[in-house]
Amino acid sequence: MKPPPPTTPAAASSSYAVVAEGLRKTYGGGRGAPATHALDGLDLAVPRGTVYGLLGPNGAGKTTAVRVLTTLTRADAGHATVAGYDVGRRPRDVRRRIGLTGQHTAVDGILTARQNLRMFGRLFHLDPARARRRADELLDAFGLAHAADQQPQHFSGGMRRRLDLASSMILAPEVLFLDEPTTGLDPRGRSEVWETVRGLTAQGTTVVLTTHYLDEADKLSDRIAVVDHGRNITEDTPAGLKRAIGGDRVEVVAAEARDLPVVRAAVARVAGSGTAPSTDEATLRVHAPVAEGVPALTDVARHLQDAGVAVADLGLRRPTLDEVFLTLTGARTDVPQPATEAAA
């Protein structure tokens, strides 16, 4: 499921925008305190021009990995290249080729959108004329030209986040790291950011995305690595991850509790070999994995109709990324964070 990292610099440069091998990072451990292994042998291989999702519970190591790959933190061991450059030996070359958008917007609320982008251009050492041109290009590209002379403090959440993304694109980075880019946004704001990310990858930018919104990872990511305790659990496409924990399921919700035995019998007829239907007495829900989804669903519907049993719902369900996540990492959603790392 997980592609092997390229073994030569040439392969890394030609096929992969980000390569990490055996990354380790430990916090604490002094004066008798237990050490926290934020990264414990993490491997990544991110193909160029794709959106690569990093998923895992709080404390899994996602943000630490991003900090190492963006040269904000040095790994204790291991090796990583970004855009073909070693993050430890050539951090300046890496920084010239990446963009980073964190969980909180970095734009100034008082300066106008245009002034913000011109300021970032100057901070990136563009001359005044080039900074002005680049600001106008980005305002147009991110759909903000109509609000160029307005203050971001009056923007919607989605507009502020798009401006923040624009500021990270001043130098048109080869690789853009997005750490929880839609936290706190409403559905419309999230949709606006998703469209922006799709547009960036269509132009060739590689995006490394960390998110707690599994639907976001499902919709945007070409490949997803599931990380826990600082190391990889698995990697695949969203569809591949779902297939790995099971195929189609027939699911029936009975209209009346008294009909559950008949519903169970109907679902048992089509359940996979050696599999008994699962029943939730509280919700009157009966479901079971099946080998052939549509014929199985048709058979159950016909059997229930012949028995004169009405149902509240009947359908063919496929695993969600939420189910993949819980299957691979368990129900843990939060763990204590190391004192030196706000959100590993």
- Residue 196 and residue 177 in one domain: yes
Q: Quick one: pLDDT at residue 150?
A: 95
- Residue 180 and residue 254 in one domain: no
Amino acid at 106: A
- Residue 205 and residue 80 in one domain: yes
> Could you give the CA distance from residue 100 to residue 220 in angstroms, rounded to a whole number?
17
**Whether 286 contacts 254, CB under 8 Å:** yes
> What is the residue whose two structure tokens read 């998703």?
194
DSSP secondary structure of 22-85: EEEEEEE--TTPPEEEEEEEEEEEEETTSEEEEE--TTSSHHHHHHHHTTSS--SEEEEEETTE
Three-class HEC string of 279-329: EECCCCEEEEECCCHHHHHHHHHHHHHHCCCCEEEEEEECCCHHHHHHHHH
- What CATH number is associated with residue 215? 3.40.50.300
Domain extent, residue 288, equals: 248-318
Question: Residue 51: which of 266, 198, 259 has the closest Cα?
Answer: 198
- Residue 178 and residue 307 in one domain: no
Q: Quick one: pLDDT at residue 105?
A: 72
- Residue 312 and residue 276 in one domain: yes
Number of domains in the chain: 2
Average pLDDT (291-315) is 92
- Residue 87 and residue 179 in one domain: yes
For 96-152, the pLDDT digits (tens) are: 899 888 777 778 899 999 999 999 999 888 999 999 999 999 999 888 999 999 999
- Residue 87 and residue 26 in one domain: yes
For 180-226, the pLDDT digits (tens) are: 888 877 888 788 888 888 988 998 999 999 988 888 999 999 999 99
**Is residue 265 domain-resident?**
yes
**Is residue 133 domain-resident?**
no
- Residue 302 and residue 188 in one domain: no
Is the pLDDT at 3 greater than 50? The verdict is no
**Is residue 341 domain-resident?**
no
**Is residue 167 domain-resident?**
no
**Is residue 162 domain-resident?**
no
- Residue 238 and residue 276 in one domain: no
Global pTM value: 0.75
- Residue 183 and residue 84 in one domain: yes
**Is residue 287 domain-resident?**
yes
Query: Which DSSP letter does residue 111 get?
Result: S
139-173 in b/e burial notation, b at 16+ Cβ within 10 A? bebbbbeebbeebbeebebbbbbbbbbbbbbbbeb
Q: Which band of pLDDT confidence, cut at 50, 70 and 90, is reported for residue 4?
A: very low
- In sequence order, what are the beta bridge partners of 226? 55, 234
**Whether 94 contacts 253, CB under 8 Å:** no
**Is residue 87 domain-resident?**
yes
- Residue 234 and residue 258 in one domain: no
> Could you give the CA distance from residue 337 to residue 344 in angstroms, rounded to a whole number?
7
- Residue 232 and residue 257 in one domain: no
